[in-house]
Amino acid sequence: MSTSILPSRWPVQHPDRLQLYTLGTPNGLKASIALEEMALPYELHKVDIMAGDQHDPEFVKINPNSKIPTLVDPDGPGGAPLAIMESGAILIYLARKSGRLLSSDPRTENETLQWLFFQVGHVGPMFGQFGHFYKFARGKTDEYGQDRYGKEARRLLGILDRRLADREYLVGDMSIADIATVPWMEALDFYEAKPFLEYDSYKNVNAWVQRFMARPAVQRGIDAVKKG
């Protein structure tokens, strides 16, 4: 099986396994958690985005957007290697490959994908912008950005809290929608922003996050990135 698409900067020890290029960011943790939950063999490669590894021409070949995570399946559709960028696309691919964490029932599948894209299109971008203005741009600009994105972050937390009022996970059993979203709840600790957002008032979100983080496979996925 040809693995010529793999970036040479990161040597491969197990060419028959899924190759994950990532770091411990909210988006970066999604794939490693999913791989552990799905029990799919993989090899992890650390991409140091602070050092600019993502701009290495070899990496750009598998991710034109120079972002993590990126996944390479050496045995993709038709037996040919396949590189996948964008965390949401990676989660869908892995769910379909493993047959886990994405229901085969059309209605449940569609509902799960709606909440996955809710994270991709709203929670991630808005929390990320909020975190930037709250933690990194403080004192460098006025409070407009912090207040604007803080208000939106609270709105999104409210939506999640209402959704979780009568259920343990976003859609039925734990799914790729939860894997996509919970790491962004945990990112609020990194931003030191939970008091500002009154995070503790979202009781259902808190319980959901604790439930998710208590799963052994979730912890293995997080630990794998830390060690990588």
- Spell out the domains of the chain, with CATH numbers in brackets: 18-101+217-227 (3.40.30.10), 106-214 (1.20.1050.10)
According to the model, what pLDDT value does residue 4 have?
79
- Closest C-alpha to 70, from 126, 134, 17, 21: 21
Whether this model's pTM surpasses 0.75 = yes
| Angle at CA of residue 121, ends 117 and 122, nearest 5° | 110
Instruction: Report pLDDT digits (tens) over 87-119.
Output: 999 999 999 999 999 999 999 999 999 999 999
Distance CA 164, CA 12 (A): 41
Alpha carbons 128 and 131: distance in angstroms, whole number? 5
Phi, psi of 39 (to 5 degrees): 60, 40
Gap between the Cα atoms of 200 and 121, Å rounded: 24
Residues 6+ apart with CB under 8 A from 227: none
Low-confidence ranges of the chain (pLDDT < 50): 1-2
How many residues in total does the chain contain?
Answer: 228
